Amino acid sequence: MTLSDQTSPANATPASSSAQKALLADLAATIGAGHVLTGADMSGHTGDWTGKYTAEPVAVIRPGSTQEVAECVKLAARHGVAIVPVSGRSGLVGGAMTQGGLMISVERLNRIREVRAGSRLAMVEAGVILSRLHEAAEDEGLYFPLWFGARGSAMIGGVLSTNAGGSNVLRYGSTRSLCLGLEVVLADGRVLNLMSELHKDNSGYDLKQMFIGAEGTLGIITAAVVKLVPKPRAYATATLAAASLGDALRLLNRLQAETGGLVEAFEYMPMVYMDRLEEVRPDIRQPFAPKQAVNILVELGATAPRDVTLAEDGSLPLTGLLEEVLAAMMEEGLVLDAEIASTEQQRRLMWERRELSAEVTFARKPLIDTDVSLPLEKIETFLAVMARRLPELDPGATSLCVAHLGDGNVHYTAFPTRDDPALYDAVVSAVEDEVAALHGSFSAEHGVGLSKRNSMARRKDPVALDVMRAVKAALDPEGRMNPGKVIPARG
Amino acid sequence: MTLSDQTSPANATPASSSAQKALLADLAATIGAGHVLTGADMSGHTGDWTGKYTAEPVAVIRPGSTQEVAECVKLAARHGVAIVPVSGRSGLVGGAMTQGGLMISVERLNRIREVRAGSRLAMVEAGVILSRLHEAAEDEGLYFPLWFGARGSAMIGGVLSTNAGGSNVLRYGSTRSLCLGLEVVLADGRVLNLMSELHKDNSGYDLKQMFIGAEGTLGIITAAVVKLVPKPRAYATATLAAASLGDALRLLNRLQAETGGLVEAFEYMPMVYMDRLEEVRPDIRQPFAPKQAVNILVELGATAPRDVTLAEDGSLPLTGLLEEVLAAMMEEGLVLDAEIASTEQQRRLMWERRELSAEVTFARKPLIDTDVSLPLEKIETFLAVMARRLPELDPGATSLCVAHLGDGNVHYTAFPTRDDPALYDAVVSAVEDEVAALHGSFSAEHGVGLSKRNSMARRKDPVALDVMRAVKAALDPEGRMNPGKVIPARG
């Protein structure tokens, strides 16, 4: 068994040719032939952003309502076909792959059913693109506080199914904690209606938590009730240099306490990242010359008039607060240097440096990208160990990383000197060995899908795996919901 | 089937006399005879705060470690005896009752294993009393933000098993969202180690969510990793009068936006509550004369120097901020009157009015107390309907309520003129009918236990109940973990 399992098929259930025809006819009768895509018509749905995976479904179907999703799931059950939900296809772990299964796209479930501003919530369907929800909330002076690069294509269904992370988890919590209610089509085609608007509800098990982050292996999320928060009316943004990651964490705690919890983002970019950014995008101005070892993008967000009402000289009080706190920390040596954005353009530049990480990372190949999380105070150790281990495995290899530092979420990427599956496995093993030794996780925010199934088998506590298998068997006894994903086969 | 099921036995498995002796001998050999309590020695463990329930366990055992809990669970399995975990016995729904089962007290698992201030977390065992954790966190300038009246006796195990609520959920989230990691002894005696310190971890299903709020029906929580937050260094507290609940909610949203989310608590006390408070505790000074219809206890908490550093005249900037916002809202008519605490003693008085709610409520009998939640904008409708419905059912009946308004969590209590089970059921049915019609929940923060099992059967979506039963059967196939609680029997 190798760790690079890009070619592993999802163990779907391909039907015989005549059985396939019967299935397709039934589906067409249920949702209309125009929404049952086969052959070349599927091409817009079968690839993903990584380019590593290509699905080969029996069909891609586009039901137009929860009830139609339920009918299609029942049909698939009757025909014994596996079901793979797909939404914005911005996932990075092959979670929407299939060989022979039926791909259910939620793209037509695209209504924002309601934005209830007074109650600070929205009812949205699974096919709503994240940035559309951002816009709808903003129209009411509110914000759905989940923010990451792929927001222009990721859909709510996938966002919830993968418990997607991003840059604002630090302030507003995980996707899981932003979800009040959920609507799910179960493996037998029944609709589980958990569309609660309640902030407290202890009437039995919190079932929605099972489906959030389950990557479609327990059911298909068709709609959700999500929390909204007051949209920050102003931001203060800075790029800082710190002497060490330990100092950066102390700095974060100080910033949180001294601003009263206004920190929206705290993103780490080490010198190796800034070097690569300069190579790939020399047009992007660097923050510090000479370059600094530990660069932090910090952003405060505020709604209070005392923070956001411009002073007579046109200055923003929130920026003044940030300057004041940083000045004190510079005096103490916690901050070595700082660049504070004084215009929206400067703020955008700071974010661009960070959000170019995908472009910067994927510009060099071959690469081995990871998405790990660590106890906050162990990140420095992890990076130090990898700086020693990687050259042992491949003397010419280079690496870079970026991190959502406040969440302990590190995206470490190695660039080996050759495209060698054995080397790939050795590097991933070294990363995961060290993460495990430091009580971290081999999957922080991207999920498991296909690509980390073997890591699940090797790294996850066997008792936890057993409990997951028991839950999976209880909810999907025929194993037809996104089979082969998340949970590795026994033994 | 009646709704008042105080007398329903938990369907445990009483053993024959000789089998019992064998079990007790095995337990004594495992954890020491001094920790296997029977007969009169159990009396300190078999009652609860409500006085409505008395457990009749085969024994109360006090294992001293997770491993001992696991061994005892294995022994119970071998002897075919049901297991009921018990911690601080401050629950209100009979969750720790049993007839013949083995009661496992976690009181000796009482170590705070570690408080890690830099990472803002604590590792605690299930028997740690909530207020002890508060003190340990405070020693580091931190706060475990779960706060309710019974904090001096409630233990972490019970707090997590019931997903307990309280007054700070509004700012810091539910118990569920404060938990990073969990250690659980499963029905077969295996230890599920989920003691993660991670803020992001998408390596498979988030299993800890299944055990939080499951009231011991899926396993026994023995330890947890919990988040800590910076301890507010100052509070600004006020009691307000608003014209209506709708105005109170607008006021809450304004306060959140204009203080930048500093609202720690937002508690509702209507005039009927203030009247009863005056009757029961005439020594407690009332905030307004004449009394007001809608009274709100609001508290801001702050850590930032600009909020907490006393001005030259000795005034607290945070109090100034609260005064300023309230003054603007008084001018607009959103606030009718306000009393702002200027000393810690005045603050304590404001909290005392609210925290006397248990004493005030239970001073009159018979009573029918409820713990429901509603969409925020529906609370007013609910109370209006009950004001009409209650006298229809019992012309002389009175009622009162208090509410964690920001969470939509209402504690409505009716005082019927007679102690009549049929009337009890009729009132509870009326409350739950109206709650259901308004898309609320019959159990907000107290849980289900025994007392709301029939409500689960009548009110919970049948598909959701089926899924819960499937999960229960998957994790506890012999039905020995706190049997008869939470999940009603089929049919």
What's the confidence (pLDDT) of residue B286?
98
- Find the distance separating the first CA and the last CA of chain B, reported in whole Å: 11
With beta carbons less than 8 A apart as the criterion, state whether B399 and B412 touch: yes
Chain A positions in Cβ-Cβ contact with residue B406 (cut-off 8 Å): 199
**Kind of pairing, strands A409-415 and A372-373?**
antiparallel
| B114: contact with A, CB 8 A cutoff | no
By the CB < 8 Å criterion, does A387 face chain B? no
Q: What is the DSSP letter of A403?
A: E
Chain centroid to CA A472: 22
Q: Give residue-wise pLDDT tens across range A79-107.
A: 999 999 999 988 888 898 999 999 999 99
All residues of chain A having their beta carbon less than 8 Å from the beta carbon of residue B207 are 464, 467-468, 471
Q: Phi, psi at residue A215, to the nearest 5°?
A: 55, 40
CATH class of B112-230: alpha beta
- Residue B410 is encoded by which pair of tokens? 């209402």
Question: What order of strands is seen across the sheet that includes strand B112-116?
Answer: B112-116, B121-125, B220-227, B179-185, B191-194
Task: Return the pLDDT at A73.
Answer: 98
Give the chain A residue nearest B469 (alpha carbons): A474
pLDDT number for residue A3? 32
What is residue A402's DSSP assignment?
E
Reported CATH class of domain A364-452:
alpha beta
For residue B339, give both structure tokens: 């009393």
A443 in contact with B, Cβ within 8 Å: yes
Which of B205, B213, B459 lies closest to A206 in CB terms?
Answer: B213
Q: What is the ipTM of this complex?
A: 0.94
CB contact under 8 A, A440 and B198: yes
Contact between A460 and B305 using a beta-carbon 8 Å cutoff: no
Ranges under pLDDT 70 in chain B: 1-15
User: Does residue A20 surpass a pLDDT of 60?
Assistant: yes
Alpha carbons B390 and B238: distance in angstroms, whole number: 32
Q: Does A302 touch chain B (CB under 8 A)?
A: yes
Determine whether the interchain pair A200/B305 forms a contact, defined as Cβ–Cβ distance below 8 Å.
Answer: no
Enumerate residues 6+ apart whose C-beta is below 8 A from A422. none
Distance CA A249, CA A135 (A): 33
> Which chain A residues are closer than 8 Å to B258 by Cβ?
303-305
Six-digit token string for B428: 């509870």
List the single best residue of A176, A200, A458 to mutate versus B (max B Cβ within 10 A).
A200
- Is B446:A202 a contact under the CB 8 Å cutoff? yes
State the Cα–Cα distance between residues A109 and A107, nearest whole angstrom: 5
Do the domains spanning A234-357 and A364-452 agree at the CATH topology level? yes
Q: Is the pLDDT of residue A10 over 70?
A: no
CB A147 within 8 A of CB A157: no
Task: State residue A15's pLDDT score.
Answer: 53
The DSSP call for residue B186 is -
**Cα B446-B451-B454 angle, rounded to 5 deg:** 115
A204–B376 CB contact, under 8 Å: no
| Interface subset of B 20-49, CB within 8 angstroms of A | none
Considering only CA atoms, give the Rg of chain A. 23
Site from B143, B203, B225, B445 to mutate, A interface, most A CB atoms within 10 angstroms: B203
> Is A360 strand, coil or helix?
helix
**CATH architecture entry for B17-108:** 2-Layer Sandwich (3.30)
A118 interfaces chain B, CB cutoff of 8 Å? yes
Cα within 13 Å of Cα(A10), Cβ side:
37
CA A44 to chain CA centroid, nearest Å: 22
| Averaged pLDDT score across all residues of chain A | 94
Location of structure tokens 């209606």: A193
The residue type found at A157 is: G
Looking at residue B184, its pLDDT comes to 98
CB-CB contact of A133 with A156 (8 Å): yes
Write out chain A residues lying below 8 Å of B197, CB-based.
Answer: 375-376, 439
Residue A453 touches chain B, beta carbons under 8 Å:
no
A93: exposed, middle or buried (C-beta count within 10 Å: 0-12, 13-18, 19+)? buried
B326-354: pLDDT as tens digits: 999 999 999 999 999 999 999 999 999 99
Is the pLDDT assigned to residue A19 strictly greater than 70? yes
Reading the block at residue B456, the tokens are: 């689960």
| Per-residue pLDDT reduced to its tens digit, A119-177 | 999 999 999 999 999 999 999 999 999 999 899 999 999 999 999 998 899 999 999 99
Residue A402 structure tokens: 């970026």
Do residue A404 and residue B261 have CB atoms under 8 angstroms apart?
no
Comparing C-alpha atoms, which of A403, A491, A96, A453 is closest to residue B204? A453
Strand partners of residue A371: A443
Summarised one tens digit per residue, pLDDT across range A229-262 is: 999 999 999 999 999 999 999 999 999 999 999 9
By the 10 Å C-beta count (0-12 exposed, 13-18 middle, 19+ buried), A17 is classed as exposed
Q: Are residues B304 and A259, on separate chains, in Cβ contact within 8 Å?
A: yes
A-facing residues of B in 123-182 (CB < 8 A) are 162-163, 165, 169, 173-174, 176-177
Q: What residues of chain A, 267 to 296, have a C-beta less than 8 Å from chain B?
A: none
**What is the percentage of chain A residues whose pLDDT exceeds 70?**
97
Sequence-distant (6+) residues with CB within 8 A of A148 are A154, A164, A165, A166, A167
Interface residue B474 vs chain A (CB under 8 A): yes
On the question of a cis peptide bond just before residue A375, with omega within 30 degrees of 0, the verdict is no
- All residues of chain B having their beta carbon less than 8 Å from the beta carbon of residue A463 are 186, 190-193
Q: Which helix (H) or strand (E) holds B184?
A: strand B179-185
Instruction: Return the ∠ at Cα A69 (arms to A68 and A73), rounded to 5°.
Output: 115
**Whole-angstrom Cα distance, residue A167 to residue B344?**
39
Rounded CA separation A453/A432 (Å):
13
- Look up the CATH number of domain B234-357: 3.30.70.2190
DSSP A269-280: EEHHHHHHHHHH
Q: What span, in angstroms and rounded, lies between the C-alpha atoms of B184 and B175? A: 16
Number of other residues whose CB lies within 10 A of the CB of residue A119: 21
Residue A7: phi, psi to the nearest 5? -95, -5
The CATH number given to B364-450 is 3.30.70.2740
Q: Helices (DSSP H) in B220-270: which residue ranges?
A: 245-259
On chain A, the residues whose CB falls within 8 A of the CB of B444 are 198, 200-202
| Mutation choice for A interface testing from B323, B467, B487 by most A CBs within 10 A | B467
Domain extent listing, chain B: 17-108, 112-230, 234-357, 364-450
Provide the pLDDT for residue A11. 42
* pLDDT computed for residue A16 by the predictor: 76
